[in-house]
Amino acid sequence: MAWNEWEQIKSHVGEQRSASMRLNQLPADQGTGGKGSGDFVAHQDDLGAVGHEAFVLHSRLGKQADIAGAGMDKTGAGSTMQAAATLKSHHFTLGATLETTVSVWDGQMKALLQACAHISNHLDYSKALHAHDDALIGASLRQRNGEEIPVSRLNEYFK
């Protein structure tokens, strides 16, 4: 291949790339419904709904996915761990494997329950904090007599 051919191929590939380049975003007029910049907006109702679902999931998982505590006997061992102990006492290697499975499952469930609780608590906290901040901002944007500051006066601060 001659040097000229190589240069022609490189320029041809470069032209194809620039012609097919696409930005990883929506055009300015799409996706926002004509309402602005397209920034992420979460309303308090949305946060409350997500927090509630996290709370509901936490409650259901705690009750329905507990294989370590299901069917507990007087010693506190669940039915799966009882089965594992019985298998081990009869020298089946499945007993130890079943114990490990229950242990891993229990650890993963505790991590998932903790994540659900964290999401629920954090969203409740965020919702309350932002409501408090909004009240403070609203109070600070009032004149001495308690009336709201007019928008024309607010525009002075942004110039």
Q: How far apart are CA 71 and CA 67, in angstroms?
A: 8
Query: What does the domain layout of the chain look like in residue ranges?
Result: 44-158
Residues 91-119 have pLDDT tens digits of 999 999 999 998 898 889 889 989 888 88
CA–CA gap between residue 41 and residue 158 (Å, rounded): 22
pTM of the model: 0.50
Quote the pLDDT of residue 95.
92
Range in 8-12, 68-72, 116-120 with the lowest mean pLDDT: 68-72
pLDDT in tens, 70-97: 777 777 778 888 899 999 999 999 999 9
Question: What is the rounded distance in angstroms from the CA atom of residue 43 to the CA atom of residue 8?
Answer: 55
124-138: pLDDT as tens digits: 677 777 777 777 776
